[in-house]
Amino acid sequence: MEEFAEENVEEQVAVFAALADPTRLRLLKLLCRQRDPHALCVNALAWRLGVSQSAVSQHLRVLRSIGLVKGQRTGYRVHYFVNPEVLGHCRELMSEALIVEEASRGESC
């Protein structure tokens, strides 16, 4: 009997957990549509999402914790954008987690 592969499970859990909140997912989708010179500050993100600035800050903290979002200070504001390398890695992790493999012949419950 083949053991279930545990490779990358903790990373996959972190990605799925970070994206499990509807506001966080909307925030990430909004940031994915931006380009670096058009990165958005917390105030602009809050206005576009219709949530408070503190809520946006908390959601950004979660996305930053897995490296998916980065911030760059411009004057007294921080502008946020998606880290494309980490986004690609997260896509790979999610794809690996969702692959459906055929069962070996003779396997049953």
In angstroms, the Cα distances linking 6 to 9, 11, 13, 43 are 6, 10, 11, 40
In a domain, 2, yes or no: no
Residue 44 in contact with residue 29, Cβ under 8 Å? no
Q: What is the mean pLDDT of residues 5-33?
A: 88
Q: What is the CATH number of the domain that holds 29?
A: 1.10.10.10
In this prediction, residue 107 carries a pLDDT of 63
In a domain, 92, yes or no: yes
Q: Per-residue confidence at 96, pLDDT binned at 50, 70, 90? A: confident
In a domain, 101, yes or no: no
In a domain, 4, yes or no: no
In a domain, 109, yes or no: no
72 lies in which domain range? 9-96
Give 47-79 pLDDT, tens digit per residue.
Answer: 999 999 999 999 999 999 999 999 989 888 899
Number of domains in the chain: 1
In a domain, 33, yes or no: yes
pTM listed for this prediction: 0.80
